[in-house]
Structure 1
Amino acid sequence: MHDIHIIGGGLAGSEAAWQLAEAGLRVRLSEMRGGGDNTPAHESDRLAEMVCSNSFRSDDAENNCVGLLHQEMRRLDSLILREADRHRVPAGSALAVDREAFAAGVTSAIEAHPNIAVVRERIDALPAHPTIIATGPLTCSGLAAAIAAETGSDALAFFDAIAPIVHLDSIDMSVCWKAARWDKGGDDYINCPLTRDEYHAFVEALRQGEKTEFKEWEKDTPYFEGCMPIEVMAERGVETLRFGPMKGVGLDDPRTGRWPYACVQLRQDNALGTLWNMVGFQTKLRHAEQVRIFRTIPGLQNAEFARLGGIHRNSFIRSPELLDSELRLKSRPNIRFAGQITGCEGYVESAAVGLLAARFAIAEQRGETLAALPVETAIGALLNHITGGATAQSYQPMNVNFGLMPPLPSRFRKADRKKAFTDRARGAFDVWLADQRETIPA
Structure 2
Amino acid sequence: MTPFKLTDELLEEIRELIAENKDAELQLMMKEFHYADIAEIADEMEVEEATYLIKLLDSEKTSDILAEMHEDIREAVLKNLTAKEIAEELSELDTDDAADIINELPKELVQEVISEIEDREHAKDIVDLLRYEEDSAGGLMAKELVKVNENWTVTNCVKEMRAQAENVTRVHSIYVVDDEGKLKGRLSLKDLLTASTKSHIKDIYIPKVDSVNVNEKGEEVARIMSKYDLEAIPVIDEIGRLVGRITIDDIVDVIREEADKDYQMAAGISQDVEVNDSIWILTRARLPWLILGLLGGLSAAAIMGTFEDMIAKHAVLFFFTPLIAAMAGNVGVQSSAIVVQGLANDDLKGSVSTHLLKEMLLALLNGFILALLLLLFTWIWKGSFATALAISLSLVVVIVVAGLIGTFVPMFLHKRNIDPAIATGPFITTSNDIFGILIYFWIAKMILGI
Shorter-chain TM-score: which interval?
under 0.3
Normalised TM-score (structure 2): 0.22
Question: Relative to total residues, which structure has the larger helix share, 1 or 2?
Answer: 2
Q: Which has the larger radius of gyration?
A: 2
Question: Relative to total residues, which structure has the larger strand share, 1 or 2?
Answer: 1
Report which structure shows greater RCO (CA 8 Å, sep ≥6): 1
